[in-house]
Structure 1
């Protein structure tokens, strides 16, 4: 139906057609992607990530082989690791978020946790506060 063969169209022509339709594609240099479900986390390290934007809608494509982790392990650790006792009202932050903010901002985990708590768990605001 489309000319047989198994290759499709060349990437340059495909990109040109997508631009004509108002679709932008961009490769993202991602270090790690985490997808959280109620039961598990799918952790992609060194994943290929592409952002496609069309008609104001952003779509992310993740290609890689994820490691699966049970959710209960990280959630319990985050709740127990709060330390100051005032996180029992549901404001305890996720241990993975603390680690990510600490790494991005170049601070220790206690400082990262405080910034996350100050910013209601918002990763970007916590990093901005620390930079």
Structure 2
């Protein structure tokens, strides 16, 4: 963005950006997922910077992604992580079903609480 900016004092750079109307914030991100038609790029514990230049937000992600096939969360052990435990408890309490039955119903309906409750009632 700035030619020869390698020698600039970070405080001066921040001051210049503020003068141009650019706010920069570091985000405490645990994970960033970029979904494409074929796969997901999963950045675990990335450095994320948000820049707001007069209402236009830009995010910069620094890290090395792990490439995962699309739908990998639906296959095997990761499926449980996709359904929040709170949702399972809500469906189980509402219908009187076991937590396993509630989780299965939620998974079958892609996490849709109402559809899972309707199936189990």
Q: TM-score, normalised by structure 2?
A: 0.62
Is the Cα–Cα contact under 8 Å of residues 98 and 109 in structure 1 kept in the other structure?
Answer: no
Q: Bigger radius of gyration, 1 or 2?
A: 2
Task: Give the aligned partner of residue 19 of structure 1.
Answer: 18
Contact 1:39 1:72 (C-alpha < 8 Å) held by counterparts = no
Distance 1:118 1:54, change over 3 A: farther
Q: In 2, Cα distance between the equivalents of 1:52 and 1:30?
A: 15
The runs of at least 4 aligned residues of structure 1 exceeding 6 Å deviation read: none
Aligned match of 1:56: 55
- RMSD, aligned α-carbons: 3.1
Q: Show structure 1 runs of 5+ residues with no match.
A: 79-94, 120-131
Q: What residue is the counterpart of 2:88 in the other structure?
A: 110
SS of 1:7 mapped into structure 2: helix
Q: Unaligned stretches of 5+ in structure 2?
A: 91-105, 115-121
